[in-house]
Chain A
């Protein structure tokens, strides 16, 4: 377990040697959320719409989209971070020393995931503050705790996906492309910008994406004032997906790590 901490320490220390990048990354997420808001204004014309309310039970399109934006950027920055982490190690020439050590790769990856988690939290917080001050999205403390719980469930699945991705980047030496395609798939099939109910196919596929349940649950709490116990179905579904994603992630990583040791492509970039 000490490895998780040391990995975290190492990653954060390396970031801190690039202070300008940190500043950049706190401004950048705000720019990211603005198009969502403008899009909402343009389509709906106001903060609420009847057609939209019929689909989702809430007329508040802009808060709906902002929650989607915050949660999804949280997810993507985490995914990108874990997936990219091994590419960086390969670039630094340190990857072979990680792979060749007796340390559990799962702990190393967990350390990387946590560092990304901290980073993404900065990211999401600056977006959220922005949304609160400029668009009056209201958040009360009693709603925060269940939301944190949902987020941690979501993170477990993300961790699984991230490990799988890390394995994939060992093999194809490239993570940007994969992660962007993954972005696109998730955008299409989960209710980030719109409710998936608009189309039966998106609705079906979205059932297998953890982000769907997390978003439904978080919006349920924030926008519909649902009490937590009404969200049990979503939580159970999320947990089942967590188990599936973690299993899948570790399996993919182990298989691919073995594969690169066979093809001899570790450390090449």
Chain B
């Protein structure tokens, strides 16, 4: 059964001057965990908002479990649980329980039934101790758990998770990821569409991944299939202190693509080439003049290498 069917979706802003989603077609099966991976501004949030009826598309068609998003928006809203990243999506002055109680009412859940469901969600999300705490006193990670609990209250078939681990510390990110995979997909059999710009997240969680770049889906396949799109099985990776000039490496004969990851004063270069050993000497020679080399070696491609290979764009 098809859960999400998108055909030729287009959405522009500012009277057509900003094209956020540019002719996207996509099919997601029931039970699938699908990831949209792309840098900031790729159009991921816009696509999610079109799916969740918050935006009316300029063109194209969206069906959620066979229901047209525009014509049957009330039905679609009941089928969807939405989680958007970012700090504020809850009432900070209300307790965890009161927040959930209010949102349950918006979905027609009230009284004893609502109470039972809320307690259940609080239990599942491991929030029992925080039940009566005001949301403003919770950590960012805890708030994200409450947001997930809210999305699950009405037991939706489809979960739309827009950057679910944005701004969380690594430990909380891991908890949330495990919850998405183990609880939501495996146990509850939900269909999940998540967006992210962390390649590890997409790689680790998703059955299939869509690369999104400048409003378009550049590729769509399983993580393994995507990694096979790079013609070479091995990459040359060089770590150094300092910031080298990328073009210096790019114009070495035999270099096909370069991914440069800069973190503080550290730089990692990932170089794609049919003959990584052959170019090694030249590359080191050129870099040595500008930076202090810390280490080098051969690695296998990551999704980020594939992304830059296919779109020419970096993820961050």
A interface residues, Cβ below 8 angstroms from B: 2-3, 6-7, 9-10, 13-14, 17, 92-94, 96-103, 108, 258, 261-264, 266
Contacts and interface: CB of A to CB of B under 8 A. Distances in A.
Contact of B89 (A3, A97, A108, A258): A97
Contacts of A263: 13
B98 A10 contact: yes
8 contacts: A13-B93, A13-B94, A92-B88, A93-B87, A101-B77, A101-B107, A261-B53, A264-B55
Contact of B102 (A6, A102, A258, A264): A6
A6 B91 contact: no
Given A14-B93, A92-B92, A93-B86, A103 B110 contact: no
Contacts, number: 85
The 5 closest A-B pairs by CB, nearest first: A93-B88, A6-B105, A101-B106, A103-B106, A102-B77
Given A2-B108, A96-B84, A97-B106, 7 more contacts: A10-B102, A14-B91, A94-B91, A96-B82, A97-B89, A102-B78, A266-B54
B101 interface: yes
B110 A2 contact: yes
Contacts of B150: 97
Given A2-B105, A6-B101, A101-B106, A261 B91 contact: no
Contacts of B88: 92-94
Interface in B74-128: 74, 77-78, 80, 82, 84, 86-94, 98, 101-103, 105-108, 110
Given A10-B94, A14-B91, A17-B93, A102 B56 contact: no
B273 interface: no
A75 to B, nearest CB: 27
A17 B98 CA distance: 13
Interface in B29-58: 46, 49, 52-56
Contact of A103 (B49, B92, B107): B107
Given A10-B91, A13-B94, A97 B103 contact: yes
A192 B89 CA distance: 41
Contacts of A14: 91, 93-94
Contact of A100 (B77, B90, B92, B105): B77
Contacts of B13: 263-264
A99 B101 contact: no
A2 B110 CA distance: 7
A30 B74 CA distance: 46
Contact of B98 (A13, A103, A261, A264): A13
Contacts of B98: 10, 13
Most buried by B among A93, A103, A264: A264
Contacts of B108: 2, 102-103
A258 B53 contact: no
Contacts of B78: 102
A4 B102 CA distance: 11
B44 to A, nearest CB: 14
Contacts of A7: 102
Nearest to B15: A263
B106 A98 contact: yes
Contacts of A98: 106
Contacts of B106: 3, 6, 97-98, 101-103, 108
A105 to B, nearest CB: 10
Contacts of A92: 88, 90-92
Contacts of B52: 100
A194 B77 CA distance: 51
Contacts of B91: 10, 14, 92, 94
Contacts of B102: 6-7, 9-10
